[in-house]
């Protein structure tokens, strides 16, 4: 297999997480937003942003569309209700695998 050094390098850059203070601050913000009316309303809808299935509100978690580890922020546009199954999958899969999974379940 031929390894493209440039591709490897950019992949590496992609995997470098933002610094700890950024993540800590955004985690705090997420915690605050979790107690807001805005989030309570979203959660009580019970609909997972990804698979579109309906769940009891206590099974809905808050998900960062762009993960904090990739520089995503705890802002409303980056936070979606997400079922436990999708949340687990999203954490386990690489971004491109997740894209494939999304394409698969949206068919």
Q: Which stretch binds Zn ion (CB under 5 A): 32-40, 68-76, 84-92, 93-101?
A: 84-92
Task: Between 47 and 68, name the residue whose CB sits nearer to Zn ion.
Answer: 47
Contacts of 87 (CB under 8 A, 6+ apart): 61, 63
Quick one: tokens of 92?
């386990």
Q: Should residue 68 be labelled a site residue for Zn ion when binding is judged by CB under 5 A?
A: no
Which of 79, 86, 89, 90 forms a contact with Zn ion (CB under 5 A)? 86
Minimum distance between the CB of residue 60 and Zn ion, rounded to whole angstroms? 9
16-55 in b/e form (b: 16+ CB < 10 A) is eeeeeeeeeebeeebeebeeeeebeebbeebbbbbbeeeb
Q: Select the residue interacting with Zn ion from 30, 47, 48, 68 (CB under 5 A).
A: 48
Region binding Zn ion by CB under 5 A among candidate stretches 4-12, 24-32, 83-91, 95-103: 83-91
Q: Which is nearer to Zn ion, 36 or 88 (CB)?
A: 88
The closest alpha carbon to 106, from 87, 91, 86, 76, belongs to: 86
CB of 23 to Zn ion, least distance (A): 24
Interaction between residue 50 and Zn ion (CB under 5 A): yes
């Amino acid at each position: 297999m031929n390894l493209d050094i440039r591709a490897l390098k950019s992949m590496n850059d992609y995997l470098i997480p933002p610094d700890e203070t950024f993540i800590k601050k955004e985690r705090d913000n997420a915690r605050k937003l979790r107690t807001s009316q805005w989030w309570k309303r979203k959660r009580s809808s019970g609909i997972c942003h990804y698979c579109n299935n309906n769940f009891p509100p206590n099974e809905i978690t808050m998900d960062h569309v762009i993960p904090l580890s990739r520089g995503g922020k705890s802002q409303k546009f980056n936070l979606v209700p997400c079922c436990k199954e999708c949340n687990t999958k999203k954490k386990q899969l690489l971004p491109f695998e997740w894209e494939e999974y999304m394409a698969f379940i949206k068919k």
